[in-house]
Structure 1
Amino acid sequence: MALVRGRRQSKLGLILPEITERRPRFSPPLPPTASQQPTTTASSAASEYETVQVLGHGNGGTVYKVIHKKTSNLFALKVVHAGSDPTMRRQIFREMEILRRTDSPFVVKCHQIFEKPDGDIAILMEYMDAGTLDSLSKTGGLLTERTLANVARQVLNGLNYLHAHKIIHRDIKPANLLVNKNMDVKIADFGVSKIMCRMLDTCDSYVGTCAYMSPERFDPDSYGANYNGYSGDIWGLGLTILELYMGHFPFLLTGQKPDWATLMCAICFGEPPSLPEAVSDEFRSFIECCLQKDSGKRWTASQLLSHPFL
């Protein structure tokens, strides 16, 4: 992920000035109960929240762990430096629109959104205390089939919800799946997602992390004949589950540095990743259902929820 520019990072804080008259005020969805949502306004945000630590950098911004002083509740505050970059602003406004529309226990919850006069945008979200599945796998080692079945079930419930609302994530990977100490898993980071206006709208642009892109997004002419717009998320899930099991990216050798050409050749023209002989038949079948090169043969989220592996 790209690092935040130093000159921005050094001045970054939680002081969120009054929303300018020139920009709209956004109304994110309320959580199920009022006790779960701080009732701060933009002008009082600086005094009601305190930075605990930096959780990470990426996508042109920084994510902080913050505490609400009155309740001692912890939250994640994502501050994005949209500035005058039109591409960045489109991405963050797309994420804001999706966060406002979603209400699922398997999708990270948005509590408040602030826009600063300088164009920076702050999104207050629920805090997941175990980080991401990517960080968890690096510190906790390989995950068992039973644990991965639990992970897959939760992600598929999230995808089933999103797809039913005609939302494609387009960047499902371990780093975009948040987890807490109870192993609750939630889908996050909607910066490159797309809200589909019609069921048959195409969605084959080169966005997201190319390592997790499906064959039809690399080569729409060869693999996209039956592309319905949602199966790319299933491909990303299959790669994610297999990577968490194997401990490295499935299409590359351990320690191999990927580049765009290598990934394209491996994903589009290479053989499917081979699973160890010790895996169960159910796990092997589940991965095969996710990693069909022909997108039309890939199972949907709702179909996979009834797969024997789960």
Structure 2
Amino acid sequence: MPPSRLSPHRPMHFRLGRMLGKGAYGAVHEALLESGASVAVKRVDLGRCARGPGKDSRLAFNVESEVLRNLPSHPHVVAFLASEAPRGGQGEALIWMECVSGGSVSGVLKTYGAMREDTAGRFAAHVLSGLVFLHSNRVVHRDVKPANLLVTVCGTVKIGDFGSACVVDGEGGKAKGIAGTPNYMAPEIFRMVNNPTGGEAQGDGTYDCKADVWSLGMTLIEMLTAHPPYSELSNPFAVMFHIARHPTPPLPPSASSRALAFLARCLERCPEARSSSLDLCTDPFLPPQLGRLNRDAGWQLPPPTLATRATRCGGGRSWRRTGGSIPPPPPPPPNHP
């Protein structure tokens, strides 16, 4: 659970703890507040990013912090607390977020293997609830996959890692550009002139929020099998080629008819015919509470008070946040899945 509202008159100290994840240009650590609450801190070395191909990571940090800063709170999206980027664009940039201590769905699959359908359906419902919220705020996540879905110790799934996200213009707005992880990317992303799969141009490479729905379908396949789609292919370009040119990904042979029908709606190759995240909420494969939650607009919550910038405290591994306040998490809607 995110930390409670903090006093705007008292500095907040962070002490970094264990590493939760690491990439080429930064890492995510657990951190301890002076209140005793735990948060997650994402640290990105902007100087290192600027010296090489990590310029994309630098841009991703800016996009991620802005997307999260402007989103209201939601029970199935990791809560944003604060961010800081050093002046001049050099040094270490940070994003403070809710710490989800149960690990990722990917970690759950590695530890326990393939999920039962009822568990996978519940997890998919949580992700779908978060996607409805994001899409209603014109955010396309663009990297929905088990590694970016975090699980609380109580079994609540939250969407995290917004480094590939973008905000589209208005209702029906389009995104452009290849972003995400190949095994989970929708085929319309590759339909562009001079596309990397080597196939013919089939479109202008634009796509909308339904690309996340395709990724949810691929994620559900992994939850039911414990293997990513196209895991037998080690070359990412071969994966892109298969997604762009083949009718459908391999489906779990032991899946129920309800699961297969849900997957068919997610993995419709034509984005115009693919179900939206909101349309999927009443699918019989999912717990019935999800449809009620979204019909009642339980995901429309008031925006939080924005947290102000944070500053390094001393020369050690402690941090201080000055000014502003961090909003408390909203109470979950009744009977949410």
Structure 1 residue matching 2:67: 3-state secondary structure: helix
Instruction: Tell me the CA shift for residue 271 of structure 1.
Output: 4.2
Determine helix, strand or coil for the equivalent of 1:238: helix
1:64 alignment counterpart: 29
Distance 1:108 1:223, change over 3 A: farther
> Which one has a larger percent helix, Structure 1 or Structure 2?
1
Q: Does 1:263 align with 2:233?
A: no
Whether 2:4 is the aligned partner of 1:36: answer yes
Query: Contact 1:223–1:293 at 8 Å: present in 2 too?
Result: no
The 1:40/1:131 distance shift into structure 2, 3 A limit, reads: farther
1:138-196 Cα offsets, whole Å, 9 max, x none, are: 01221111011111111111110111111101111111111111111111111111111
Q: Structure 1's 153 and 56: CA in aligned 2 closer, same or farther, altered over 3 A?
A: same
Give the Cα–Cα distance (whole angstroms) in 1 for the partners of residues 8 and 96 of structure 2.
11
Residue number among 92, 103, 108 corresponding to 1:136 in the alignment: 108
Give how far 1:52 is off. 2.2
- Comparing 288-297 with 259-268, greater Cα deviation is found at 259-268
Please name the residue that 1:97 is paired with.
Answer: 66
Gaps of 5+ in 2: 194-200, 287-337
The amino acid that maps onto 1:248 is H
Aligned residue type for 1:82 = L
- 1:306 equivalent in alignment to 2:282: yes
Quick one: distance in 2 between partners of 1:59 and 1:206? 19
Deviations 1:227-268 (A, max 9, x none): 65111100111000111111112234xxx3421331122212
Q: Kindly state the Cα deviation for residue 65 of structure 1 after the two structures are TM-superposed.
A: 0.8
Which residue number corresponds to residue 248 of structure 2? 272
Task: Please give the root-mean-square deviation of Cα atoms over the aligned residues, in Å.
Answer: 2.4
Of residues 142, 146, 158, the one that matches 1:186 is: 158
Alignment of 1:153-172 (within 5 A): 153-172=125-144
Distance in 2 between residues matched to 1:227 and 1:87, nearest whole Å: 20
- C-alpha separation between the residues in 1 aligned to 2:39 and 2:252? 40
1:200–1:228 CA contact under 8 A, matched in 2: no
Match of 2:83 among 79, 89, 113: 113
Partner of residue 125, structure 1: 97
Distance 1:210 1:40, change over 3 A: farther
Deviation at 1:200, TM superposition (A): 4.0
Residue 258 of structure 2 is matched in structure 1 by 282
How far residue 40 of structure 1 moved from its aligned partner, in angstroms, is 7.4
Moved more, 141-150 or 113-122: 113-122
Aligned to 1:23: none
Which residue number corresponds to residue 149 of structure 1? Answer: 121
Give the one of 77, 80, 97 matched to 2:41: 77
Whether the aligned pair in 2 keeps the contact of 1:49 and 1:67 (CA below 8 Å) is yes
Q: Deviations over 1:259-284 (max 9, x none)?
A: 13311222122242343443211101
Aligned: 1:53 with 2:18: yes
Instruction: Evaluate the alpha carbon distance shift between residue 231 and residue 150 of structure 1 in structure 2; reply closer, same or farther with a 3 A threshold.
Output: same
Q: In the alignment, what sits opposite 1:230?
A: 209
- How many residues of Structure 1 are paired with residues of Structure 2 in the alignment? 270
Residues 78 and 124 in structure 1, CA contact (< 8 A), matched pair in contact too? yes
* Alpha-carbon distance between aligned partners in 2 of 1:305 and 1:226, rounded to the nearest angstrom: 27
Structure 1 unmatched runs, 5+: 1-30
* Alignment counterpart, residue 174 of structure 2, candidates 202, 207, 228: 202
**1:169 counterpart letter in structure 2:** H
Asked if 2 retains the 8 angstrom alpha-carbon contact of 1:228 and 1:296, the reply is no
Q: How far apart are 1:224 and its partner, in Å?
A: 4.8
Which letter maps to 1:302?
Answer: L
Measured in 1, the distance between the counterparts of 2:184 and 2:167 equals 20
Mapped contact 2:43–2:93 kept (Cα < 8 A): yes
Identity among equivalent positions (%) equals: 30
Is residue 127–residue 157 contact of structure 2 (8 Å, CA) maintained in 1? Answer: yes
Counterparts of 1:249 and 1:157 in 2: how far apart (Å)?
A: 22
Contact conserved, 2:217 with 2:263, CA < 8 A, in 1? yes
Q: Distance in 1 between matches of 2:41 and 2:135?
A: 26
Alignment of 1:16-31 (within 5 A): none
Q: Residue 129 of structure 2 aligns to which amino acid in structure 1?
A: N
CA distance 1:91–1:257, change in 2 (3 Å):
same
